Amino acid sequence: MERIKLEKVKTFKLSSSPRKVSIEMFGTPPKEGISLKEFLLSLPKILGAKDLLEVARAIVEAKRRDKKVLLGMGAHPIKVGLNPYIIELMKRSVISLIGTNGASMVHDVEIALVGKTSEEVKEGLKDGSFGFAEETATFINEALKRGLSKGKGAGEALGEAIWEEKLPYREISLFGMAYKLGIPVTVHIAIGTDIFHMHPSAKGSVIGEMSHRDFLTFSSEVTKLSEGIYLNLGSATIMPEVFLKALSLARNLGHKVENYITINMDFLPQYRALENVLHRPHETGGRASYFLRGHHEILFPLLVGAIIEGLTGNI
């Protein structure tokens, strides 16, 4: 058996060979009582920590330049307690629009009604009680029916109902607060995937029409995305697909959409989010793309904190 010989290997001086990491990029352990800004600036300037601050700076810059910041999200952010953080960004006029799925309507309405949400699915599935809370579905379906005749979309109709009917916890509701603040929320419903589709109050033609109106609203905002931000927060399928179709529609109609930044925030990499939010849009006119990976309930509050620090100073 022949073995390779190392005697003739060529070596180089360490100083002549570039390295990607230097001690200037290292983090600084936090000291007791430091501010949020000090903590953020103490993080390593490497990989995820570096990306987090770059994303925050990009969002702040977009806001300062009056560019669009669109938030696409699944329902999970509501279930892990992020409503207050998203509402804070809305109050500060950072978010231009929220696009989401039908499940977000369910969880947000329950939060607004009783301050609680998220069923024990396995237990309810045993006897067929899962998904049949009367108040949740009736409130959503009736709001959609009223909104239909007013020319509204699903998100605005629900927000109006939550706010104008003065639900007990309306000020912690994404839909209610968005309605109050005049920020569009669009809902992209896949019929059969949400509990309010199973109730006697459900009417498919209403649900479909209201959701289609919202798709047109979402697409209209995408036509103005140049130099703006699209942030996908925890939607693995619906919002990545909606965003891609809206981007193609905007360009089909002659709108020049370019130099935007796309961001995906999730615990795991998912095919559609990677392709339809990061890769394909970036390769066809985007300026940059970022994948911030981690638990929503930890990572998103850090991002919001960094954005707020950026709005009031420098990070």
H-run or E-run covering 40: helix 36-42
Question: What whole-number percentage of the chain has pLDDT above 70?
Answer: 100
Residue 145 pLDDT more than 90?
A: yes
Per-residue model confidence (pLDDT) at position 42:
96
Residue 221 pLDDT more than 80?
A: yes
pLDDT tier at 111, thresholds 50, 70, 90: very high
**Residue 161: closest CA among 95, 148, 134, 192:** 148
User: What single string gives the DSSP state of each residue in the chain?
Assistant: ------TT-----GGGS--S--GGG---PPPTT--HHHHHHHS-SSHHHHHHHHHHHHHHHHHHTT--EEEEE-SHHHHTT-HHHHHHHHHTT--SEEEEEHHHHHHHHHHHHHS-----HHHHHHHT-TT--HHHHHHHHHHHHHHHHTT--HHHHHHHHHHHTT-TTGGG-HHHHHHHHT--EEEE--TTSSGGGGSTT--HHHHHHHHHHHHHHHHHHHTT-TT-EEEEES-SSHHHHHHHHHHHHHHHTT----S-EEEEEESS--HHHIIIIIIHHHHTT-SEEEEEES-HHHHHHHHHHHHHHHHHS--
The secondary structure of residue 206, as a DSSP letter, is H
pLDDT tier at 128, thresholds 50, 70, 90: confident
pLDDT tens, position by position, 148-203: 999 999 999 999 999 999 999 999 999 999 999 999 999 999 999 988 998 989 89
State both tokens at 219: 């697409």
Per-residue model confidence (pLDDT) at position 121:
78
Question: What whole-number percentage of the chain has pLDDT above 90?
Answer: 86
For the chain, the average pLDDT equals 95
pLDDT tier at 132, thresholds 50, 70, 90: confident
Residue 31 pLDDT more than 90?
A: yes
pTM: 0.93
Mean pLDDT check: name the lowest of 44-53, 122-131, 208-217. Answer: 122-131
Contact between 290 and 51 (Cβ < 8 Å): yes
pLDDT tier at 5, thresholds 50, 70, 90: very high
Architecture of domain 58-308: 3-Layer(aba) Sandwich (3.40)
Q: Please state, in angstroms and rounded to a whole number, the distance separating the CA atoms of residues 240 and 230.
A: 10
What's the average model confidence in pLDDT over 64-71?
98
State both tokens at 64: 């300062």
Per-residue model confidence (pLDDT) at position 244:
97
pLDDT tier at 116, thresholds 50, 70, 90: very high
Per-residue model confidence (pLDDT) at position 118:
86
What's the average model confidence in pLDDT over 8-33?
93
Mean pLDDT check: name the lowest of 3-7, 15-19, 107-111, 284-288. Answer: 15-19
